[in-house]
Amino acid sequence: MKKIFYKIFILFSILSLGISTISFCDDIDEEVIDVNAEILETDSSAQPEIKVPETNSRACVVIDRKTNTILYRKNEKEKKKMASTTKIMTATIIIENCNLDETIEVSKKAAGTGGSRLGLKTGDKITIRDLLYGLMLRSGNDAAVALAEYAGGSIEGFAELMNKKASELGLTNTHFETPHGLDSDEHYTTAYELALLSNYALNNTTFSQIVGTKDYTITINGYPKQLSNTNELLGNFEGIYGIKTGFTNGANRCLVTACKRNDMDIICVVLGADTKKFRTQDSVKLINYIFDNFKSVNIEELIENKFEDWKTENLNKIIINKGVTQNINLEIENIAKAIIPIRKDLIDSININIDFPLYFEAPIAANTQLGNINISVADYFDFNYKIYNCFEIKHKSWNKYLFELFKNYSSILNTTF
């Protein structure tokens, strides 16, 4: 009897271990890497020609923060598990909707959450703000559940808030089921949409401050607890100011990084790296690739110069049939993406085309689109901007026709005699 009980106990222990290995979201794993060594190893600044980096991660993207333009892509629109990078949305919901100075009591459910933990116990008293630091620095799943219960009433209720926000942001290939990111078939995003979400989140100064903090002391039940950020690049690589790590067996290693140097500000996302070493290497490779090989270009200036040259050559050729005037005042719509990073070897291949007919029928209402300007370069971007007339051009009235007829007739008579 004892032998049977012992075997059952061993089997149950093995199964429990297997389940926890599959399910737990554990950013603080046992893999140790020398970040500075990885940075030196992946330095690309001395390369004589521009080479697109090869990456281990299953999906990657780098976007320009000012314009959301994609600068590097690899399976960037494929649905992927995102592990604890989920907490970017969790923190965003809390910051936008809650009083961060309020103190709450931790529930049994939150305290019992596995994986990477802040170390909360049932009945602990802690502020929402300190829970956010525990969420984003220590990647505490217990903190995630405590916050979800506070803001959404339950994990399911909070997931509804997360999906509503995703919809508001236009993230059509993103779906949330939990606040922490434990593996689930219906919990996914894409590298590109995660980058867009991160860009949105970083516009909030509270969020940006939290994810850019290397070390922080929180208080639980009046006692201090020191936290260190799980982001291995923060504080070790020039320009890094956030934002979040992630790891599950289903998602593998994930990292979202924000980096700013001089006038360029980017977000780099790597999903599905086999190891923390590869996660770091891929991120460093991509960040180096962008800052070594891209240059900010003022496309607004290029477009305006091209348009002025076109007007000089073509304005007097435009015919407005039956219009009270042939004078037309043209403008281009606001160019929101005015300055864009472009790979240095592609700058000379920027293509600007103006599509504008030279014949119109009056009347023409004010602010009517009459043509467009397209600017593109390789596979990086392809933007269209409207050309519109500033003022109304009315149809000639019958008395205007009579006046012109009389004027023309008088002119003929004067010439004849």
Catalytic residue among 74, 87, 244, 285: 87
Cβ atoms of 114 and 137 within 8 Å: the answer is no
Whole-number pLDDT of residue 9: 45
Residue 406 has pLDDT above 80, yes or no: no
Q: Are residues 63 and 162 in the same domain?
A: yes
Instruction: Kindly state the DSSP code that residue 188 receives in the 8-state scheme.
Output: B
CATH of the domain at 186: 3.40.710.10
Residue 298 belongs to some domain of the structure = no
What proportions of the chain, in percent to the nearest 5, are helix, strand and coil? Answer: 40, 25, 35
Residue 101 belongs to some domain of the structure = yes
Tell me what the mean pLDDT of segment 150-161 comes to.
98
87 in catalytic set = yes
Residue 9 belongs to some domain of the structure = no
- Give the whole-number percent of the chain exceeding pLDDT 90: 80
Q: Are residues 362 and 275 in the same domain?
A: no
Tell me what the mean pLDDT of segment 8-32 comes to.
48
Q: Are residues 93 and 224 in the same domain?
A: yes
- For helices 87-97 and 141-152, what crossing angle results, to 10°? 40
Q: Which of 24-33, 57-66, 104-113 has the lowest mean pLDDT?
A: 24-33
Whole-number pLDDT of residue 407: 55
Domain residues for 343? Answer: 318-398
Residue 405 belongs to some domain of the structure = no
Residue 7 belongs to some domain of the structure = no
Distance CA 71, CA 4 (A): 61
Q: For residue 195, which of 25, 70, 285 has the smallest C-alpha distance?
A: 70
Q: Are residues 225 and 360 in the same domain?
A: no
Q: Are residues 235 and 372 in the same domain?
A: no
Whole-number pLDDT of residue 148: 98
Which residue has tokens 């290939």? 173
Distance CA 197, CA 239 (A): 20
pLDDT digits (tens, 9 = 90+) for 246-275: 999 999 999 999 999 999 999 999 999 999
Tell me what the mean pLDDT of segment 38-58 comes to.
79
**Domains of the chain: total:** 2
Q: Are residues 132 and 266 in the same domain?
A: yes
Q: Are residues 139 and 263 in the same domain?
A: yes
Whole-number pLDDT of residue 34: 74
Q: Are residues 285 and 335 in the same domain?
A: no
Whole-number pLDDT of residue 398: 54
Distance CA 214, CA 231 (A): 8
pLDDT digits (tens, 9 = 90+) for 184-216: 999 999 999 999 999 999 999 999 999 999 999
- Give the whole-number percent of the chain exceeding pLDDT 70: 86
Beta strands 59-64; 70-74: pairing state: antiparallel
Cβ atoms of 195 and 208 within 8 Å: the answer is no
pLDDT digits (tens, 9 = 90+) for 299-348: 999 999 999 999 999 999 999 999 889 999 999 999 988 999 999 999 99
Of the candidates 243, 258, 293, which is a domain's last residue?
293
Whole-number pLDDT of residue 229: 96
Residue 62 belongs to some domain of the structure = yes
Cβ atoms of 64 and 341 within 8 Å: the answer is yes
Whole-number pLDDT of residue 8: 44
296 in catalytic set = no
Residues 6+ apart with CB under 8 A from 62: 70, 71, 72, 195, 266, 267, 268, 269, 286, 287, 289, 290
Token representation of residue 200? 């949105």
Q: Are residues 188 and 94 in the same domain?
A: yes
Residue 363 has pLDDT above 90, yes or no: yes
Whole-number pLDDT of residue 411: 58
Instruction: Kindly state the DSSP code that residue 348 receives in the 8-state scheme.
Output: G
CATH of the domain at 328: 2.60.410.10
Distance CA 388, CA 195 (A): 34
Whole-number pLDDT of residue 276: 95
Distance of CA 3 to the CA centre of its chain: 57
Catalytic residue among 84, 107, 198, 283: 84
Cβ atoms of 16 and 10 within 8 Å: the answer is no
Give 47 or 58, the one with higher predicted confidence. Answer: 58
What does pTM read for this prediction? Answer: 0.86
Cβ atoms of 331 and 390 within 8 Å: the answer is yes
167 in catalytic set = no
Q: Are residues 129 and 202 in the same domain?
A: yes
Q: Are residues 289 and 385 in the same domain?
A: no
Cβ atoms of 76 and 190 within 8 Å: the answer is yes
Whole-number pLDDT of residue 27: 61
Beta strands 264-273; 252-261: pairing state: antiparallel
pLDDT band at 400, cuts 50/70/90? Answer: low
Tell me what the mean pLDDT of segment 223-237 comes to.
96
Token representation of residue 394? 């009315």
Q: Which of 5-19, 232-246, 276-290 has the lowest mean pLDDT?
A: 5-19
Whole-number pLDDT of residue 31: 72
Beta strands 351-355; 369-377: pairing state: antiparallel
Distance CA 380, CA 234 (A): 28
Cβ atoms of 252 and 274 within 8 Å: the answer is yes
Residue 309 belongs to some domain of the structure = no
Residue 283 to residues 11, 172, 232, 242, 289: CA-CA distances in angstroms? 41, 25, 11, 12, 10
Q: Are residues 281 and 341 in the same domain?
A: no
Residue 251 to residues 24, 58, 66, 255: CA-CA distances in angstroms? 11, 10, 28, 11
Average pLDDT, the chain: 89
**Rounded CA Rg of the chain:** 30
Peptide bond between residue 179 and the one before it cis (omega within 30 degrees of 0): no
Q: For residue 237, which of 200, 286, 198, 204 has the smallest C-alpha distance?
A: 286
Residue 282: Cβ-neighbour burial (10 angstroms; 0-12, 13-18, 19+) = buried
Residue 172 belongs to some domain of the structure = yes
Catalytic residue among 139, 165, 276, 285: 139
Residue 402 has pLDDT above 60, yes or no: no
Cβ atoms of 152 and 160 within 8 Å: the answer is yes
